[in-house]
């Protein structure tokens, strides 16, 4: 099975890049299942229902969120009826929506997707390690799931790497989101779990992590807010990671970063 994960979609530039490029990537590489983090897709903060549907129509089977999950008011009303939209599993009990769900891929495989938020340099949430552990135990790899993918939304790469080792041999992919910068540490751990500390963003990199340069630079120089952050609207780079799984175990067999369009160096999977 071939899985594709795309990092944080930021603003209009990111949404347009997903709509324009994702369908062709799915066709070219025959991806069976696609997960996209959409927590910054609407004006850089949160995800409206309209933009959620745009990402789904482009080819995303599941859309994940993060610390900005409920920055758009209508998310509170539509997340409960959208099983393909996930918010972090370790949010407080009673939070609308779900943090994990089992899906069927294009080829009929069972894919468990989990969304979690870290605690290092982030707003307070429940323990992500125990929450994810419980979700995996309830739907084990190669028993009830043919693949398990975790989007771990957090600031610290150390926390993401620790989660990868914690789950090594139990899940297919642990991938980080939130920092918007793609890391070069993609690898398959000893137990067969693929790990990448941050998938990067789908957004305009002629920016400060997807935001027009002027206001963040002003705040660094003066410490004073002079306006709102505005998503940059130049040509976006589509950033993510692709995984080819072992059909016998559901663990990773091949792993490759993906960067398409925009100003970053390009990278495409070579899965043969």
pLDDT of residue 3: 98
Question: Please, what's the b/e burial string for 3-19 (b: 16 or more CB within 10 A of its CB; e: otherwise)?
Answer: bbbbbbbbbbbbbbbbe
140-155 residue pLDDT tens: 999 999 999 999 999 9
pLDDT of residue 271: 86
Residues with a catalytic annotation lie at 68
Q: In this model, does residue 272 exceed pLDDT 80?
A: no
pLDDT of residue 112: 98
Query: Minimal CA–CA distance to 207: which of 246, 167, 262, 255?
Result: 262
67-124 residue pLDDT tens: 999 999 999 999 999 999 999 999 999 999 999 999 999 999 999 999 999 999 999 9
Q: Report yes or no: 111 and 56 within 8 Å, Cβ to Cβ.
A: no
25 three-state secondary structure: helix
Q: In this model, does residue 232 exceed pLDDT 70?
A: yes
State the average pLDDT over residues 239-259.
Answer: 97
Domains and CATH numbers, the chain: 2-260 (3.60.21.10)
pLDDT > 90: what percent of the chain?
98
Measured distance CA(18)–CA(61) in Å, rounded: 13
Q: What is the value of pTM for the model shown?
A: 0.96
């Amino acid at each position: 099975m071939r899985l594709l994960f795309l990092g944080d979609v930021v603003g209009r530039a990111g949404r347009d890049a997903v709509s324009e490029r994702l369908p062709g990537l799915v066709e070219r590489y025959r991806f069976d299942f696609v997960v996209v983090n959409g927590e910054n897709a609407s004006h850089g903060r949160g995800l409206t229902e309209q933009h959620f549907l745009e990402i789904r129509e482009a080819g995303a089977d599941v859309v994940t969120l993060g610390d900005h999950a409920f920055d758009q008011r209508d998310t509170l009303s539509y997340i409960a009826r959208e099983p393909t939209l996930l918010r972090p599993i370790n949010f407080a009990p009673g939070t609308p929506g779900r943090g994990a769900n089992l899906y069927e891929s294009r080829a009929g495989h069972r894919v468990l997707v989990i969304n979690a938020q870290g605690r290092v340099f982030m707003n307070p949430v429940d323990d992500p390690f125990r929450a994810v552990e419980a979700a995996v135990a309830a739907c084990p790899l190669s028993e009830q799931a043919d693949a398990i993918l975790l989007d771990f939304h957090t600031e610290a790469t150390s926390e993401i790497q620790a989660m990868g080792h914690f789950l090594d041999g139990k899940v297919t992919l642990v991938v980080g989101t939130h920092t918007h910068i793609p890391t070069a540490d993609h690898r398959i751990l000893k137990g067969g779990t693929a790990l990448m500390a941050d998938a990067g963003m789908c957004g305009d990199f002629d920016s400060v992590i997807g935001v027009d340069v002027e206001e963040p630079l002003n705040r660094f120089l003066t410490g004073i807010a002079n306006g709102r952050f505005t998503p940059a609207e130049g040509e976006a780079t589509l950033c993510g990671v692709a995984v080819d799984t072992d059909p016998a175990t559901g663990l990773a067999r091949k792993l490759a970063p993906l960067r398409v369009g925009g100003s970053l160096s390009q990278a495409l999977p070579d899965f043969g």
